[in-house]
């Protein structure tokens, strides 16, 4: 696998840009990190960092786990302009 890995600082800086895309991805149903990565078309490693940051700062919450034990994430009520 010859995937180029971006610098961690660069990935973290992109969180503000990626936040609306991630919130849109989870707007109608809670998703796991791999599912979010597939929807928005970014590497799982990067999506994991953004999701953890968004969780830390109150934009996402975990919504249980799927059958594989992966945490599912959904927006915090009002984080995307909607109530859940």
**Segment 23-40 mean pLDDT:** 97
Indicate the pLDDT class of residue 3, thresholds 50, 70 and 90: low
Q: Which long-range contacts (CB under 8 A, 24 or more apart) does 5-9 make?
A: 5/45, 6/46, 8/49
pTM of structure: 0.82
Give the H or E element holding residue 74.
strand 71-75
Give the H or E element holding residue 75.
strand 71-75
Give the per-residue pLDDT at 6. Answer: 84
Q: Does residue 80 or residue 29 have the better pLDDT?
A: 29
């Amino acid at each position: 696998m010859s995937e180029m890995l971006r610098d961690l600082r660069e990935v973290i800086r992109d969180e503000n840009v990626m936040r609306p895309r991630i919130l849109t991805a989870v707007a109608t149903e809670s998703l796991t990190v791999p599912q979010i990565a597939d929807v928005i078309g970014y590497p799982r490693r990067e999506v994991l960092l953004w999701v953890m940051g968004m969780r830390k700062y109150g934009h996402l919450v975990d919504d249980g786990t799927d059958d594989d034990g992966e945490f599912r994430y959904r927006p915090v009520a009002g984080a995307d302009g909607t109530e859940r």
